[in-house]
Structure 1
């Protein structure tokens, strides 16, 4: 990966962290708030699937855990798994359309949020499965999808030139 791409990834990660701390609590509805860190890590895994490794999702998940009220390490593990799945599924199913990255992002975000809800329930931080599902997992996943849509267009544009140099296909954003 080139220095330009590394710089873009680091600046994007810092921006996602700042948004998570400053903006996410301000736009929270009840107990649901967007997870900018999850959205960013998943988008990077989809935009550059062959170069996405476990370090960025782990760090982003750990930052989420350290700034939140959930168990430390939970989101870090779930983000590594979700990003691994997203990058591998995208590598297999990419058909050069906009539908596949968005469908994969949505599925992985929902899987990560549902798993995090189950983890909160297992740790006693959510009262019952309905609370974990309807007041946390589904609303947060919807927030994540809205954020991920915007982040995807930005990151696809910033990282597209490097992807074409390496022989990777990127969707045509017209």
Structure 2
């Protein structure tokens, strides 16, 4: 039986938003790999989309993208648009997709984040903030993607463990609910 605790999920979403916001403003500008930077807005948007999806995931993703756009020198609204569209696609099922397992969510995040980061840096090339296509792909997109993917791994682990109930599926020794004698 599944229980829905709206307050727990609401407080969890606020805590996730606060964590990603602080990491985006404090960690992302200071740590770089080549010309690539962390993108915690992508992590937050896709975690919410994989957790709840639907309308809530799209709205949260839009605001996460807007916060990212306002904290960088890029065009305002570009990441908001990209995150809104990809969160819509990720959240079509409107269910907790972390319960499917870590690999399913990891592959969904990997593909979606690569597309968002590549299109963002391609738009920066069109605006004249990047020198060439080589600069966009090799020096910006791949390092940004690698940093964002590595930063997503603890979130993926936490949410898949939480979706599984936080404990292993086999009963503990001496448990009241043991089926050993049946």
**TM-score category by the smaller chain?**
0.7 to 0.9
One of 21, 24, 28 as aligned partner of 2:28: 24
- Runs of 5+ unmatched residues, structure 1: 161-169
One of 62, 69, 75 as aligned partner of 2:66: 62
Take 2:110 and 2:93, find their aligned partners in 1: how far apart are those partners? Answer: 13
Take 1:42 and 1:173, find their aligned partners in 2: how far apart are those partners? Answer: 24
Aligned CA RMSD, in angstroms, stands at 2.6
Q: Confirm or deny: 8 A CA contact 2:121 2:141 kept in the other structure.
A: yes
Q: Point out which structure has higher relative CO (alpha carbons under 8 A, 6+ apart).
A: 1
Match of 2:12 in 1: 8
Take 2:167 and 2:56, find their aligned partners in 1: how far apart are those partners? Answer: 21
One of 77, 82, 96 as aligned partner of 1:78: 82
One of 117, 125, 129 as aligned partner of 2:129: 125
Indicate how the Cα distance of structure 1 residues 20 and 46 shifts in structure 2: closer, same or farther if over 3 A, else same: same
**Paired positions, count:** 163
Indicate how the Cα distance of structure 1 residues 95 and 61 shifts in structure 2: closer, same or farther if over 3 A, else same: closer
Q: The residue matched to 1:88 in structure 2 has which SS?
A: coil
Length-normalised TM-score, structure 1 = 0.82
- Choose between structure 1 and 2: higher helix proportion: 1
Give how far 1:13 is off.
Answer: 0.6
Give how far 1:173 is off.
Answer: 7.9
Deviations 1:28-81 (A, max 9, x none): 123211111111211221122356432111111011111111111111111111
Larger radius of gyration: 2
Take 1:101 and 1:171, find their aligned partners in 2: how far apart are those partners? Answer: 17
Give how far 1:95 is off.
Answer: 8.5
Q: Determine if the alignment matches structure 1 residue 49 to structure 2 residue 42.
A: no
Length-normalised TM-score, structure 2 = 0.79
